[in-house]
């Protein structure tokens, strides 16, 4: 099939590439000329495992094209995806200006029937706005071309986006037209193997499904962070508690890892946006508000543990902290809403210096923070330890999992490790002569 994708960010680029990989002819369009030029020359704007070779191969075979020419791209597609950004507004609701600008462009140029697909995460009711915007643009030029608007949310995880796209656990299609449903079923047939993965529903339910999925996952995390904080107070170890509850299939092992708070482009934004939507409909989503505020507080928790160790904030002045991990999670260079940003800000405000290492996000950190005398971005994890007083682990990259604790003891002047992702066994670290602080590990924290 002939597919057009507006937006070459995470979602657009991964979706377009995977659709090309299974044989569709995909044209990706973006207003960012430099990005399109780069993509044509094999420069992939994001780090995502497996993406680069797939883009290059499909581009070379002509199944994947990149353009800034919106009119030509619209002429190409039987199915036209809107996969542009929906950044949060000042009040936390999703900003639809980019989505609706694409809708207007489609209405201005559409010459033959097409299915327009909302792929971006958009509030309930957006498909109606997209439909109305296309209709208005078409009316303005006196045209009347048939089109359907469908909601087809993505469930891609950064760092595993290609895998999630090629092997989805479900494909949600929200539509009120039989023709559109048939077209999307055909489009996704190559991904719908072994058992039925396509769930067809009405448009509004599909729009809400995306928010419900992310809000549920964020709730699990905030819930566990709350339990971790209680564990810390009462002298229990949340890692034991996690193992004690995860085996119950009603609870499950996934997304019950306490830590330094959730970040990324989805959870923080989507939980807020869903709460705002509820509010607009006159409902106060108390649980969602709590999920957000627990997370907000959790991002400051590592810093609180550091202050606790040193007695007070003033004692941090002039200290140097090695920070391992800047990305909001492993296998990505994305630092949007990353817990590391809160930690660094608080450390700097307290007059401390940071030596940070991240396998992928150093360039992003350089872009965000610029040159500053209290930040050194290091090439290796061990470089970050040079001259440091203590180590703080913020992102659970695999390579941080088993450091040589004896070496850490020698390198760190104050011999203290703050483990924001509970990677280490407190007993093992303490046996090496280091002070250990994890998240919700009350037994070892209370002994100090």
Closest approach, Cβ 208 to ligand UDX, in A, equals: 15
Query: Using the 8-state DSSP alphabet, how is residue 208 labeled?
Result: H
Distance from C-alpha of 301 to C-alpha of 314, rounded to nearest angstrom: 17
Among candidate residues 239, 238, 291, the one with its CA nearest the CA of residue 262: 291
Smallest distance, ligand UDX to C-beta of residue 330, A? 8
Q: Is 266 a catalytic residue?
A: yes
- Widest CA span in the chain: 78
- Write phi, then psi, for 356 (nearest 5 degrees): -110, 145
Bridge partners for 377 per DSSP: 356
Report CA torsion sign: 306, 308, 310, 316.
positive
Residue 111: count of CB within 10 angstroms of its CB: 10
Nearest residue (CB) to ligand UDX, 263 versus 426: 263
Binding site for ligand UDX (CB under 6 A): 154-158, 214, 217, 221, 255-257, 259, 262-264, 266-267, 328-329
Q: Side by side, which strands form the sheet with 320-324?
A: 375-377, 353-357, 320-324, 390-393, 416-419, 435-437
At closest approach, how far in Å is the CB of 339 from ligand UDX? Answer: 7
Neighbour tally for 305: CB within 10 Å: 23
Cα(209)–Cα(274) distance, rounded to whole angstroms?
11
Closer CB to ligand UDX, 148 or 396, in the complex: 396
DSSP 3-state assignment of 147? strand
Q: What is the 3-state secondary structure (H, E, C) of 185-248?
A: HHHHHHHCCCCCCEEEECHHHHHHHHHHHHHHHHHHHHHHHHHHHHHHHHCCEHHHHHHHHHCC
* Alpha-carbon gap, residue 353 to 443, rounded angstroms: 29
In the complex, the smallest distance separating the C-beta of residue 111 from ligand UDX, rounded to whole angstroms, is 33
Residue 6 CA to residue 120 CA, distance in Å, equals 10
Give the residue with the Cβ less far from ligand UDX, 157 or 345. Answer: 157
Nearer to ligand UDX, 148 or 158 (CB): 158
Given a contact cutoff of 8 angstroms between Cβ atoms, the answer to whether 123 and 273 are in contact is yes
Residue among 400, 439, 430, 402 nearest 242 (CA): 439
CB of 52 to ligand UDX, least distance (A): 18
Q: Please tell me what DSSP assigns to residue 323.
A: E
Q: How far is the CB of 359 from ligand UDX (least distance, A)?
A: 15
Query: Within 10 A of 224 (CB to CB), how many other CB atoms are there?
Result: 24
**Least separation in angstroms between CB 259 and ligand UDX:** 4
Report how far residue 83's alpha carbon sits from residue 27's, in angstroms, rounded to the nearest whole number. Answer: 13
- Report the nearest approach of ligand UDX to the CB of residue 263 (Å): 4
CA 156/CA 162 separation, integer angstroms: 8
Collapsing DSSP states into helix, strand and coil, what is residue 334? coil
Catalytic one of 18, 28, 165, 266: 266
Nearer to ligand UDX, 310 or 328 (CB): 328
Residue whose pair of structure tokens reads 């439909």 in the numeric block: 131
Q: Which residues are catalytic?
A: 266
């Amino acid at each position: 099939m002939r597919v057009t994708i507006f937006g070459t960010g995470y979602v657009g680029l991964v979706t377009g590439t995977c659709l090309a990989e299974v044989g569709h002819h995909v044209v990706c369009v973006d207003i960012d000329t430099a990005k399109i030029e780069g993509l044509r020359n094999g420069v992939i704007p994001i780090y995502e495992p497996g993406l680069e070779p797939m883009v290059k191969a499909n581009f070379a075979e002509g199944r994947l094209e990149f353009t800034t020419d919106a009119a030509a791209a619209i002429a190409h597609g039987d199915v036209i995806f809107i996969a542009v950004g929906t950044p949060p507004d000042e009040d936390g609701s999703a900003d639809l200006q980019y989505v609706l600008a694409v809708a207007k462009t489609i209405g201005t140029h559409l010459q033959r029937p097409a299915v327009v697909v909302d792929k971006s995460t958009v509030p309930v009711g957006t498909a109606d706005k997209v439909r109305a915007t296309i209709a208005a643009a078409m009316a303005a030029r006196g045209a009347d071309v048939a089109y359907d608007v469908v909601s087809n949310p993505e469930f891609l995880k950064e760092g595993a986006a290609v895998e999630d796209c090629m092997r989805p656990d479900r494909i949600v299609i929200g539509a009120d037209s039989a023709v559109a449903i048939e077209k999307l079923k055909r489009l996704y047939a190559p991904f719908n193997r072994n058992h039925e993965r396509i769930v067809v529903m009405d448009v509004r339910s599909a729009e809400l499904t995306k928010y419900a999925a992310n809000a549920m996952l964020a709730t699990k995390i905030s819930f566990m962070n709350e339990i971790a904080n209680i564990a810390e107070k009462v002298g229990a170890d949340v890692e034991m508690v996690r193992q004690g509850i995860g085996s119950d299939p009603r609870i499950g092992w996934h997304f019950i890892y306490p830590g330094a708070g959730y970040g990324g482009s989805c959870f923080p934004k989507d939980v807020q946006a869903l709460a705002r939507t509820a509010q607009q409909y006159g409902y106060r989503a108390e649980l969602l508000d709590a999920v957000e505020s627990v997370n907000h507080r959790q991002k400051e928790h590592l810093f609180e543990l550091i202050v606790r160790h040193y007695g007070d904030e003033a004692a941090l002045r002039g200290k140097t902290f090695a920070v391992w991990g800047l990305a909001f999670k492993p296998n990505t260079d994305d630092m949007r809403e990353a817990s590391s940003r809160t930690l660094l800000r608080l450390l700097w405000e307290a007059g401390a210096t940071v030596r940070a290492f991240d396998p992928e996000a150093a360039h992003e950190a350089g872009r965000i923070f610029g040159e500053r005398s209290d930040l050194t971005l290091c090439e290796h994890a061990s470089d970050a330890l040079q001259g440091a007083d203590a180590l703080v682990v913020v992102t659970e990259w695999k390579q941080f999992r088993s450091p040589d604790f004896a070496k850490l003891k020698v390198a760190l002047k104050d011999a203290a490790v703050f483990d924001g992702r509970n990677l280490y066994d407190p007993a093992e670290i303490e046996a090496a002569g280091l002070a250990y602080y994890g998240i919700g590990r009350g037994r070892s924290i209370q002994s100090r």
